[in-house]
Structure 1
Amino acid sequence: MTEIIVYHNPACGTSRNVLALIRNAGVEPHVIEYLKTPPARALLAALIARAGMTPRALLREKGTPYHELGLADASLDDDALLDAMMAHPILINRPLVVSPLGVKLCRPSEAVLDLLPEPQQGAFAKEDGERVIDEHGQRVGAP
């Protein structure tokens, strides 16, 4: 059984689409609602590193206290940004997905397809109606 972890926000359409794409591959992921159960600081730092990102690249601006906290200040170091994410988990962009194939911030939602070792099992459309997977389990518009 493939072990996949999703750091999920059920209020986020992209996060819901990612979760649905994982399930469309026949995998039931371990879902962590990170606003209720944020990752420990060391784990978050490790996930960011494994994803090949920086803490700044994982920061979410929209709908967060990003501007009020002055996080746009380019002089803030990684530790300061991690501290802000620990104090305000809403600053952690989502969904962050961990699979045997890597760690990735899955925006847009179809980015999760690169992390799924199992093929899609049928057609899939995002909540907005955009077709991502056809009836044969193949990515729409894929080369």
Structure 2
Amino acid sequence: MIRALNLLVVVPSITAAGVAAAASAPAQPPPPNPGPCTFTLSAPQVVQVDGVSKVTATITPTGCIPPWQPRQSVACIHVDGQGQCMQSIEKAVAQVYFEPYTPGATYVATGRGCGGIYPYEPDPNCALLGPVSATL
């Protein structure tokens, strides 16, 4: 009951803000809607971990429209049909490591960032990130 009431309060205020902004803005296509939370996906890069070369990428939560909060991030790296993913929860950075590192291969980083209003939400609002590729 409280959850539904909060959504009834949040949605009209967001809609009203969007209508006000649209009325005062010049005729241009709207920017893509990133969702209530934003996340940054890093490009794949080679790092040394205990003397072993690995490829890594990260997803970092960068902000949310209140009352939204980051709930989950998933970072993935793919190369030649193989992949590895790693997830984090809440505001933690998701970092994935892929090995073995193959010099000259093209690595692709992808992922998703999810936000929600309530902890342990069963259906968070997620944004897909990437792909970002790099030949390393």
TM over 0.5: no
TM-score by length of 1: 0.22
Select the structure that is richer in helix: 1
Relative contact order (C-alpha < 8 Å, sep 6+): which is higher? 1
